Every structure is written in structure tokens, then in C-alpha cells.
Structure 1
């Protein structure tokens, strides 16, 4: 995909770490001018500095509709166009089952994940370029239930429905929108450290039902944003090393 995004402008939210950081770096490597957006402005600035002169940092609180609008306005003011938006910012939080989820926690999870996605979609749709693409990070928990964090699963299910419902609005601008639904991914969201990027051709195969890397997910986001995926819109692409493809392995009891 070398140079796939030359001359394009890409916006990545949640870019200070994890999947967002990996995607921002890869978009830049493929020729895009990249805007790294995050509530953690210092982290976004660090990623932009890691990328170099073809990247800028933008502060955004995705839970705020106005902040999403201001983010997109800043991109247009500096670059004059927006070709790709990877709306990736999210929040998991600390939950260990329904009993640990109170109203305040539920509201926060939904505000960041679902309302934040809505705000980002609303902000980019009127200005996305002809032939542009939007990719939204949902989750495997947006396809099946997640007993440990029902609030997160509910928000991610909502994202899938939102993306599917916005296909016509983006098609009217000659653009596409898709969701990605990662399974287990080793990122700071679950306490793992960010790691150095590698040649995409050297990415290791993930073992069955194993944990992927931030770059594994970023590469799928890049592909869905590229002309090669021009036949795909309104989909929720699962990437989970077959975690959801079969019944969970059954451990039979031993002994009488």
C-alpha cells in the first residue's frame, strides 16, 4: 500500500496511544497528512512529533458535540480538506459485571463511545471529500454481549447500528463508512504498553483466539480507508482471531 494516501488528509481520534497511535503513524507512512486528535493533547503532540512535519495535534473531547465540530474545523482551517476520518477514541473503564455498573458509569461510557461517535460522524459527514472514507472503532463486544461491562457492550452495539444507519448520508457525498470490531488487542486500554511499529508484511499471525496488536487493527482501518475497499460500506468488520466464530471451548469435568 506504499503511498496509498499521498495527497490525502486523515483525521485520527484517540491518537495519543494504542490503535489510534498506530493508525496515525501508518497513515503518515502511506503519504497522508495526519491530524492526531485526543483529549490527551500532550500525548497527541508526542505522536505527531514521532511522525514528523506531516502531522499535527488537535485537542478533542469526543463526548462534547461542540468539541467534535471544533476539531473538524481546525483540520479544515489548516489543511483545507478531509479525506479520511478514523473515529477511534473510546473508553472501557473499570467494571466487573452488572452489579458494578451504576448510572454515572453507564452515562460516561455511552457519552464517550456512542455519543462521541455520533458527534464525530455528524462533524465529518458534511465535509468529507468525494471518494472519502470513515472508519469507526466498535468492538467484538458490539456483536455479542459482554457480561463484565454491559455499558461498554451496549455502547459498541449502538455504534454498529449508527454506522449502518449513516451509509446513505455518506453515499450522498460519494464517501463510505464502516465499523471495525476488534477482539482482544494489547493496548494501553488494557494496561499494555505501546510498541514500535514494524513492516506490515512482518506482522505475525495471531494465534487462534489470541490477542492482536494495535498495528494489526490499524492495518485493517487503513485498508478499509483505501480504494481497495471501495466495494465495502456499512459493514461491521470483525477482527478477532476467530474468537466469535465458534462456541467457546468446553472443559469437561474430570472424575465422578
Structure 2
């Protein structure tokens, strides 16, 4: 496998799903130092063991992390930099789905919890990530395509369109629209410093939860709106994240890369 990536990476929500497969992909494409973070210690241990078995030459730093806690995040980034010396790729993936409800059915506490994780959590992660990247020199100072660092925020196709009445996701949709706005704004602010920020907007992905919902028939009407006729594989989303992190996308910043199988909200 060609080494597209070098340096140190940090992935939140790495205990399962897209975050876990992103950690696998980063190692597969050349990253030799990976910090994996998750709020669930059991899931984190599973990712750690699988990464070790697949990549004996990769240095792995497991971190139990609550992305809604500023002090927890600041400590995590400090630990990453202390062990690895720098931070080249930050993948802010941690998120929750929340209740499938319309606005009139949401309780304020449910709304706030989801935004605390999905939107404020991304912002809290970006702050120390950006501060560290601002301090460090590019890995290859003479290569214009190599900057000081790259941040990829995991949004959703629901950061661009409304959720379907079949599967209402009011707070989730609002949070992912916010992630795109945050990404675009900070991309403009930090581009002159050699830091790129992009978001990825996955469609329906074959996570264990969504796969079960599909098999039960709950998602049938939504899958009909996907011209490719299937859920995305987690590897497909992880590979797209690697693309955004790599020099292959070196002239992209402030973008939302849509990976949704051609989904139409009609």
C-alpha cells in the first residue's frame, strides 16, 4: 500500500463504526502514530486490540475521552503531543444519533445533550488541535501541498438536507448543519497558516445499528432514495476521510464532501 500519510493522527469516536474504521484506514495508508479516543473503554479496548493485530509497527495511544468536556479534550490533546511530538491529522468523529423525533416531541435536555456532543464537542476538539498545528512546522516545509495539519470533521448528508419525515432527526440535523458552518468558517480563518479543514457528509452507513434497522424494514423507504441501492460500507467512508486528510486533496479546504450513494431527499 502506498504511504499517502505520514505523522501523527487523533481520532475521536474510535471505539466503533466510522471512527474505528478510520483508525484502521489511517494505519493502512501510512500513519505510524495514532491516538484513538472514545468515551466507552470496552469499545476502545476492542479497537486497540484490532489495530495492534493488524499493524504491529504502529504506535497506538488509547484515550478515554468525553468530547463534551473541555478539560477532558485539552488533556487528551496534551497527551497526544507529549507522546507523539506533534499532531498532523485530527478526525473529529464522535457523535450520537439522539431520539428520532420531531421538534414538538423533543425535551430541551435531549436537544442540549445532542448538541453538546455533536456540535460543541467538535468545536472543543478543534480549539486545541488548531493551537497545536499553529505551533508546529510542516512535515515537509518545501512542499506547498504539505501544510501544518489537517482537520476532518464528520458531519452528515443531513448537514446539507432535511431529515425525512419517515425518520425525523431534528436535533441531529441541526447539529450537523452546525458542523458544516463551523468547518467552513475555521477553514477560511486558518488557511493562511497552512491548516486545512474539511467535513465529510456520509449518507446511510452500514453500522451495526443501521444494518439491523434495514433488515427489519424500518429503513426500506429511505434506501429506495439511494440510487446505488445499498448502505455505504464503513470502509468506504473511512477511505474518503483518508482522501481529505491526504495531499490528494491539498487544494480543498472548507468543503463538505458528500458520500451518500446519490441520495435524493425527494
TM interval, shorter chain, is 0.7 to 0.9
- Among 49, 59, 67, the alignment partner of 2:64 is 59
1:14 paired with 2:13, answer yes
Unmatched 5+ residue regions in structure 2? 139-146, 214-225
Unmatched 5+ residue regions in structure 1? 194-205, 249-256
- Structure 1: distance between partners of 2:227 and 2:175: 28
1:133 paired with 2:150, answer yes
Change (3 A) 1:189 1:122: farther
Q: Hey, what does 1:79 align to over in structure 2?
A: 84
Aligned residue pairs: how many? 233
Q: Hey, what does 1:164 align to over in structure 2?
A: 184
Change (3 A) 1:67 1:31: same
More displaced 10-residue stretch of structure 1: 108-117 or 66-75 = 66-75
Q: Hey, what does 1:229 align to over in structure 2?
A: 249
Change (3 A) 1:192 1:29: farther
1:69 paired with 2:74, answer yes
CA RMSD of aligned residues (A): 1.9
Q: Secondary structure at the match of 1:35?
A: strand
Change (3 A) 1:61 1:188: farther
Residues 148-227 of structure 1 aligned to structure 2 (within 5 Å): 148-188=168-208, 190=210, 208=228, 210-227=230-247
Q: Hey, what does 2:29 align to over in structure 1?
A: 30
Structure showing the higher helix proportion among its residues: 2
Q: What's the CA shift for 1:137?
A: 0.4
- Structure 2: distance between partners of 1:137 and 1:77: 26
More displaced 10-residue stretch of structure 1: 103-112 or 66-75 = 66-75
Q: Secondary structure at the match of 2:61?
A: strand
Q: What's the CA shift for 1:208?
A: 1.9
Q: Secondary structure at the match of 1:70?
A: helix
Q: What's the CA shift for 1:240?
A: 0.5
Q: Secondary structure at the match of 1:126?
A: helix
